[in-house]
């Protein structure tokens, strides 16, 4: 495994991260502690050091298992967790982006993870209620206390992250170092606004759902009502179409569909984006198969077919502003000799 810098932090993390939403059996579809241990060791064996969890994953089991598995070697890992989702449905302040929710979640996570610091704390989802100035001050308090080293934004609009950076720089607060968002060959929405913002501000992008909820592995098919992804609707025709292309290319490359899907995510770094795909396996066998993506090289033709498979369009304003006719209206004949 090669390593990448976690945005402007300088912290070095593996090019694939280990997602642990599957750690624990409280949600009835995850892995028990023994299997989680085998997955972690396979990840470490491949050179991995970046582990991502969340205060709500499997009702807290995930953080607890991660803490137990890393006990005695915690400093060797870069550990990320999240706050925002409610910790108590009977308490209106048990969730959200505000400082009360933040402090409660951080203290709980530290206990479960058996550590006195969190390498990277994600704001899990933008809740649209707390002022960004308040959020950044609250995060900065945790950083200055030494309980959190770096902060980032998960599942948050690009304009909010950009505003958070402005606030941080203006008032001398901790600056976000990354974002987390869904991204795969069939779901490329973040290319419109989020990834250009990531490149402009030198952020890292930790991407989840790299296998489209399992659809890109060929596990599911449209029209089968019994086959549904966790928390999602039945397989769409678009996803099924992309999955077919992935399977064809996997056969040609002597790889598995999962490996081809992850290899596509890894090679998108050539676009100038510091992408770090998350692995979300439920077993050691699945994880080892996913790690095989590190040995898959996609040629130009394979990448072209994958890029075109979903019929993705940037939409307005990107498509409008990057249209050749619009560029001609702005730069005239000089657009041919202008480097962007």
Quickly list DSSP for 15-39.
SSEEE-TTBSSTTSSSB-HHHHHHH
178 with 320, same domain? no
Q: Total domain count for the chain?
A: 2
Task: Report pLDDT digits (tens) over 101-114.
Answer: 999 999 999 999 99
Say whether pLDDT at 228 is over 70. Answer: no
120 with 8, same domain? yes
Task: Report pLDDT digits (tens) over 241-297.
Answer: 999 999 999 999 999 999 999 999 999 998 899 999 999 999 999 999 999 999 999
Say whether pLDDT at 144 is over 80. Answer: yes
255 with 106, same domain? yes
pLDDT of residue 237: 83
Say whether pLDDT at 75 is over 70. Answer: yes
Q: Is residue 206 part of a domain?
A: yes
- Give CA torsion, residues 221, 224, 225, 230, to 10 deg: -20
* DSSP-assigned beta bridge partners for residue 3: 14
Say whether pLDDT at 89 is over 90. Answer: yes
pLDDT of residue 335: 80
Say whether pLDDT at 334 is over 80. Answer: yes
CA distance 267 to 250: 15
Task: Report pLDDT digits (tens) over 232-248.
Answer: 567 888 888 999 999 99
277 with 337, same domain? no
Distances (CA, A) of 277 to 150, 231, 267, 286, 308: 19, 20, 11, 15, 20
pLDDT of residue 337: 82
187 with 224, same domain? yes
146 with 227, same domain? yes
* 305-309: average pLDDT: 95
* 311-317: average pLDDT: 93
Say whether pLDDT at 50 is over 90. Answer: yes
Contact by Cβ (8 Å): 276, 205: yes
Q: Is residue 304 part of a domain?
A: no
Contact by Cβ (8 Å): 78, 17: no
Say whether pLDDT at 340 is over 90. Answer: no
Task: Report pLDDT digits (tens) over 169-203.
Answer: 999 999 999 999 999 999 999 999 999 999 999 99
286 with 338, same domain? no
Q: Is residue 247 part of a domain?
A: yes
| Domain ranges, residue 151 | 3-298
The model carries a pTM of: 0.94
226 with 334, same domain? no
338 with 218, same domain? no
Q: Is residue 322 part of a domain?
A: yes
Return the active site residues.
57
pLDDT of residue 238: 85
Tell me the CATH number at 259.
3.20.20.100
167 with 211, same domain? yes
Q: Is residue 81 part of a domain?
A: yes
90 with 214, same domain? yes
pLDDT of residue 270: 87
Q: Is residue 16 part of a domain?
A: yes
Residue 144: count of CB within 10 angstroms of its CB: 11
Q: Is residue 10 part of a domain?
A: yes
Q: Is residue 305 part of a domain?
A: no
- 118 backbone dihedrals φ, ψ, rounded to 5°: -110, 125
314 with 279, same domain? no
Task: Report pLDDT digits (tens) over 12-25.
Answer: 999 999 999 999 99
């Amino acid at each position: 495994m090669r390593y990448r810098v976690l945005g402007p932090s300088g912290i070095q993390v593996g090019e694939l991260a280990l997602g642990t939403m599957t750690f624990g059996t409280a949600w009835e579809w995850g892995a028990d502690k023994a299997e989680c241990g085998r997955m972690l060791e396979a990840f470490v064996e491949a050179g991995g050091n970046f582990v991502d969890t969340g205060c709500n994953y499997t009702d807290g089991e995930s953080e607890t298992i991660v803490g137990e598995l890393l006990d005695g070697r915690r400093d060797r890992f870069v550990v990320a967790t999240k706050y925002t989702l409610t910790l108590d449905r009977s308490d209106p302040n048990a969730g959200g982006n505000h400082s009360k929710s933040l402090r409660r979640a951080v203290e709980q996570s530290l206990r479960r993870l058996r550590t006195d610091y969190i390498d990277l704390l994600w704001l899990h989802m933008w809740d649209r209620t707390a002022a960004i100035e308040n959020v950044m001050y609250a995060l900065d308090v945790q950083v200055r206390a030494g309980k959190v080293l770096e902060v980032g934004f998960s599942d948050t609009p690009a304009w909010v992250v950009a505003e958070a950076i402005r606030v941080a720089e203006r008032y001398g607060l901790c600056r976000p170092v990354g974002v987390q968002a869904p991204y795969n060959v069939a779901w490329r929405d973040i290319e419109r606004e989020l990834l250009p913002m990531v490149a402009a501000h030198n952020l890292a992008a930790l991407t989840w759902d790299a296998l489209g909820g399992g659809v890109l592995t060929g596990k599911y098919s449209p029209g089968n009502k019994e086959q549904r992804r966790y928390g999602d609707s039945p397989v769409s025709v678009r996803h099924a179409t992309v999955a077919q292309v992935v399977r064809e290319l996997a056969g040609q490359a002597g790889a598995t569909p999962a490996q081809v899907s992850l290899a596509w995510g890894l090679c998108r770094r050539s676009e100038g984006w510091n992408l770090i795909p998350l692995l979300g396996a439920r077993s050691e066998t699945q994880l080892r198969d996913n790690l095989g993506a590190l040995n898959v090289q996609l040629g130009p033709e394979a990448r072209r077919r994958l890029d075109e498979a979903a019929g993705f369009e940037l939409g307005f304003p990107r498509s409008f502003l990057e249209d050749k006719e619009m560029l001609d209206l702005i730069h005239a004949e000089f657009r041919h000799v202008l480097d962007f």
